[in-house]
Amino acid sequence: MKKVSIIGGGIIGLCSAYYLAKEGYEVVVFDKSDMNDGCSYGNAGMIVPSHIIPLAQPGMIAQGIKWMFDSHSPFYVKPRLNLDLMKWGLQFYKHANYKHVEKAMPALRDLSLLSKELYQDFARQNSSFFYEEKGLLMLFKTDKTGIEIEHEGILAERLGLQVDFLSKAEVSQLEKGTVTDVIGGVHYKSDAHIYPQKFMQFIKDELNRMNVKIEQNTSVNDFVLKNNKVAEIITDKGTFTTDEVVLAAGSWSPYIARKLNINISILPGKGYSFTLKDQEHKPTIPSILCEGKVAVTPMNTDIRFGGTMEITHTNDIKINQNRLQGIVNSINDFYPELKIEMPKEEDTWFGFRPCTPSGMPIIARDKKLKNLTVVTGHAMMGLSLAPATGKIVSEIIAEKPASVNTQMFQL
Ligand SMILES: Cc1cc2nc3c(=O)[nH]c(=O)nc-3n(C[C@H](O)[C@H](O)[C@H](O)COP(=O)(O)OP(=O)(O)OC[C@H]3O[C@@H](n4cnc5c(N)ncnc54)[C@H](O)[C@@H]3O)c2cc1C
């Protein structure tokens, strides 16, 4: 059987490894880290068929410019004189229109719904990662935001998703864990959630059981190309031959792609989270606090809060206290009983979401290098879309028809 080498052991790489091993391939995963704390671990754990509108959407440019002048805002582009950033910005601008969103919505819905089915399969096997189907509440405090959120809900309903439009009183009836100070909400009943760290452990255990080799603390640095194929992978621990390569290195994918003479436009969208234990009052339904774009997820007995999207670079590892304060302020505004304090620096997690300028993930065979599949750019939906993405990677490599239409996920 062919040997498939996967570069990147985040959730996208590991789910790809899982479905490839299931197809009978010999699989090896390379990751430069010890695979314990990257973007796939501290995220908000939401499985979101509700998220059918990509980041590149009408209105986002104007909103983004306004937010750039507010140090507590949830979305920020770190200005710098950099060619990659300028190219990314131009492409983002080109995609922020209705035509793109109209094409993107059914493609994201189908990929998401497939992913949720696959999560349900995993959850039937194992309960260790606390899969729950409580939906997602989009909560809002102002009429302006309410109108936008309800409009998105109507679009989702038209695409067949189950959506409830809730008054203030109906939100309180649904969310009994704590007081919510909002004027209304939209409840996407299709959504689910998990505990990301526990899922990552579950999938690593599955891969071990299936004899997938995991080479952690091994950085992929270069390649040997022969006859329009990747013949060898050069790492800091030696050189490995391969039949197929899957590039799944999240926000670092562009650097690796450059070694293969491929241009991938991805920038990291830095976000923060912190997880609290033993809270007396806590929300019980996963929610997004819309004005502050804060995600709130109950995970077993813990509660995780996550937010901000700073378009930056992968060396930017500083925790921006103003933006963290923005998250804390939103939580206290929406849930007055919680009285959350600023988390300590050591209790604050951050991760880099791999963001394409179109807001669409890439799940595609390269056109020039015949044994290369690129699978990255899942931005704020990587956990949600990972199982479906992994399954499609296995279908691409096995040359089987894809489970969903992949036209919108090309390089
Ligand atoms: C605050 C926050 C909240 C989020 N909430 C959600 C959510 O609720 N739902 C959701 O679906 N998504 C969410 N996301 C997004 C999600 O976490 C990401 O989309 C996802 O983790 C990306 O996975 P990945 O495997 O593509 O990348 P990563 O997890 O970043 O994995 C890439 C891997 O490649 C490795 N690598 C890099 N370079 C090399 C090299 N040269 N050699 C070998 N290995 C290399 C890295 O070490 C890393 O382990 C959130 C993100 C953030 C920041």
pLDDT tens readout for residues 95-119: 989 899 999 999 999 999 999 999 9
* Percentage of the chain exceeding pLDDT 70: 99
Domain boundaries, the chain: 3-40+198-265+359-409, 49-98+130-192+266-355
E strands in 264-343: 267-276, 287-289, 294-299, 302-311
* Residue range 377-384: mean pLDDT, rounded: 97
What is the token pair recorded at 408?
A: 């919108």
Q: How far is residue 158's CA from residue 137's CA, in Å, rounded to a whole number?
A: 18
The rounded Å distance from CA 267 to ligand 1 centre is 12
In this prediction, residue 73 carries a pLDDT of: 75
Residue 178's alpha-carbon distances to 269, 289, 326, 335, 356, in angstroms, are 31, 14, 21, 7, 37
Q: Determine which residue's CA is closest to atom 13 belonging to ligand 1.
A: 380
Question: Which pLDDT band holds residue 409 (cuts at 50, 70, 90)?
Answer: very high
pLDDT tens per residue across span 179-222:
999 999 999 999 999 999 999 999 999 999 999 999 999 999 99
* Percentage of the chain exceeding pLDDT 90: 89
* Residue range 294-307: mean pLDDT, rounded: 97
Q: By C-alpha distance, which of 180, 174, 198, 179 is closest to 299?
A: 198
pLDDT tens per residue across span 210-230:
999 999 999 999 999 999 999
390 pLDDT higher than 90: yes
- In this structure, the residues whose C-beta lies within 6 A of any atom of ligand 1 are 7-13, 30-33, 38-40, 43-46, 219-220, 248-252, 256, 271-273, 295, 306, 351, 353-354, 376, 378-384
Give backbone dihedrals phi and psi of 184, rounded to 5 degrees, phi first.
Answer: 170, -175
Q: Which CATH architecture has domain 3-40+198-265+359-409?
A: 3-Layer(bba) Sandwich (3.50)
| pTM (predicted TM-score) | 0.97
Q: Determine which residue's CA is closest to atom 15 belonging to ligand 1.
A: 380
The domain defined by 49-98+130-192+266-355 folds into D-Amino Acid Oxidase; Chain A, domain 2 (3.30.9)
